[in-house]
């Protein structure tokens, strides 16, 4: 361990049948923590002994056993409530820090960058590839990991801002976390990091990336067909909760057209039942989502145009196949976005 620092770190790891993952990630993390830092492991009803192993590997850690699989968002919130540090760092159990990670992820709180939250560079395949160097959000709410699959370190060589931060490696000062109320627990998992990031941006915070803070993520996108249900349900929850009214109005035709297109994509991809289930869940949740929207928008500190500034019109996610490279579609999306931005700027709100 290196000498104590002024910033007290609380690392929160949520596990669910993650014994194999934490057997690698915790031994890489623990030597980097100072005596004033802490590790909080929240176990969501693992059946493989994850909680037992966490206690064996880190006797000084706080291990919370929820007794149920409450999902990543609820588990992370439970860990944050227990944590006592100035800086909360959420790490996936299969995200293994490289040497120097803790020192680098701590730095932005002390060096005056003015960020409200930040993330490290997340690699994959033993550091050979980028998993994410900062999230990308399309104006229709579709979000993906920036530069996923490209050779590491990608184009990320210096700290910069991003549209959203990955929950695989997310650092939030406690004051900002408490200001926005943490993750939305109804999301269960997927897109909760997008929602949190957008709410921080609505509150006037800037989001950054620390390329020197590297974790290697044992990640695969395919997690079963129900992942599509959660992604689509939570995408719509984020749009309803976070998009300012002027932006929603300007995007209404594009959002409707996207739904039609996604129905066709879902049918072709074999996940139409999940897409329809997501739509049903969204409709049933609308009263709650509208209430939450009112609370979120009531404290908005930026204009709709400022919020929209980091959204993109390009669908160049590697998960979307060749659709983003179709020239006519790309031109149409960009043209529409320029018209939408002009309309939003005219409102001044």
- CATH number for position 143: 3.90.550.10
Domain finish residue from 184, 217, 250: 217
Q: For residue 3, tell me if it sits in a domain.
A: no
Q: For residue 29, tell me if it sits in a domain.
A: yes
Q: What is the pTM of this model?
A: 0.93
Please indicate whether residue 111 or residue 221 has the higher confidence score (pLDDT).
111
Domain finish residue from 178, 198, 217: 217
Domain finish residue from 193, 217, 241: 217
The reply to whether 24 and 147 lie within a common domain is: yes
Q: For residue 1, tell me if it sits in a domain.
A: no
pLDDT at position 156: 58
pLDDT at position 155: 59
E runs forming strands in 87-239: 87-91, 95-97, 115-124, 129-132, 135-137, 143-145, 160-161, 169-173, 206-217
Q: For residue 20, tell me if it sits in a domain.
A: yes
Among candidates 247, 248, 237, which has minimal Cα distance to 303? 247
Report how many domains make up the chain.
2
pLDDT at position 158: 66
The reply to whether 123 and 264 lie within a common domain is: no
What is the mean pLDDT of the segment spanning 199-225?
88
Asked whether the beta carbons of 222 and 269 are under 8 A apart, the reply is no
Q: Which of 23-37, 64-78, 109-123 has the lowest mean pLDDT?
A: 109-123
Whether the predicted pLDDT of 214 surpasses 80: yes
Residue 4 pLDDT class (50, 70, 90 cuts): very low
pLDDT at position 5: 44
Residues forming beta bridges with residue 160, ordered by sequence position = 209
What is the mean pLDDT of the segment spanning 107-130?
91
Q: Which of 90-99, 162-171, 247-256, 340-349 has the lowest mean pLDDT?
A: 340-349
Q: For residue 123, tell me if it sits in a domain.
A: yes
Range of the domain at 28: 9-217
The reply to whether 96 and 160 lie within a common domain is: yes
Q: What is the pLDDT of residues 319-336, one digit of tens each?
A: 776 777 788 999 999 999
Whether the predicted pLDDT of 196 surpasses 70: yes
The reply to whether 98 and 195 lie within a common domain is: yes
The reply to whether 213 and 243 lie within a common domain is: no
- Name the average pLDDT for the chain: 92
The reply to whether 152 and 15 lie within a common domain is: yes
What is the mean pLDDT of the segment spanning 304-322?
87
pLDDT at position 331: 94
What is the mean pLDDT of the segment spanning 107-119?
90
Q: For residue 2, tell me if it sits in a domain.
A: no
The reply to whether 174 and 262 lie within a common domain is: no
What is the mean pLDDT of the segment spanning 310-325?
81
The reply to whether 210 and 247 lie within a common domain is: no
The reply to whether 234 and 121 lie within a common domain is: no
Give kind and range of the element (H or E) at residue 176.
helix 174-180
Whether the predicted pLDDT of 313 surpasses 80: yes
Q: What is the pLDDT of residues 68-95, one digit of tens each?
A: 999 999 999 999 999 999 999 999 999 9
The reply to whether 46 and 155 lie within a common domain is: yes
Q: For residue 324, tell me if it sits in a domain.
A: yes
pLDDT at position 2: 35
Q: Label each residue of 103-139 as H, E or C.
A: HHHHHHHHCCCCEEEEEEEEEECCCCEEEECCEEEEC
Residue 344's CB: how many other CB atoms inside 10 A? 24
């Amino acid at each position: 361990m290196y000498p104590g620092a002024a910033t007290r770190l609380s690392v929160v790891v949520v596990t669910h049948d993650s014994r194999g993952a934490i057997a690698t990630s915790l031994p890489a993390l623990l030597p980097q923590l100072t005596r004033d830092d802490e590790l909080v492991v929240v176990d969501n009803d693992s059946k493989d002994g994850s909680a037992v192993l966490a206690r064996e590997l880190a006797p000084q850690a706080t291990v919370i056993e929820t007794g149920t699989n409450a999902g990543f968002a609820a588990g992370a919130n439970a860990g944050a409530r227990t944590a006592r540090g100035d800086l909360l760092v959420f790490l996936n159990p299969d995200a293994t820090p490289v040497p120097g990670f803790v020192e680098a992820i701590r730095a932005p709180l002390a060096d005056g960058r003015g960020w409200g939250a930040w993330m490290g560079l997340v690699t994959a395949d033993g550091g050979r590839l980028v998993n994410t160097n900062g999230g990308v959000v399309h104006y229709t709410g579709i979000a993906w990991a920036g530069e996923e699959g490209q050779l590491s370190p990608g184009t990320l060589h210096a700290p910069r801002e991003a549209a959203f931060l990955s929950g695989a490696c997310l650092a939030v000062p406690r004051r900002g976390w408490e200001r926005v109320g943490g993750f939305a627990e109804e999301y269960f998992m997927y897109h909760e990091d997008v929602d949190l990031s957008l709410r921080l941006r609505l509150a006037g915070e800037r989001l950054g990336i620390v390329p020197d803070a590297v974790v290697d993520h044992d990640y695969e996108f395919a997690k079963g067909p129900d992942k599509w249900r959660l992604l689509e349900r939570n995408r719509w929850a984020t749009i309803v909760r976070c998009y300012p009214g002027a932006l929603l109005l300007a995007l209404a035709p594009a959002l409707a057209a996207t739904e039609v297109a996604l129905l066709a994509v879902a049918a072709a991809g074999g996940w139409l039942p999940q897409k329809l289930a997501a739509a049903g869940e969204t409709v049933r949740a609308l009263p709650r989502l509208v209430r939450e929207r009112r609370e979120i928008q009531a404290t908005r500190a930026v204009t709709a145009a400022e919020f929209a500034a980091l959204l993109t019109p390009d669908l160049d996610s590697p998960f979307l196949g060749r659709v983003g490279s179709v020239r006519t579609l790309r031109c149409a999306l960009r043209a529409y976005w320029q018209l939408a931005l002009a309309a939003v700027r005219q409102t001044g709100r």
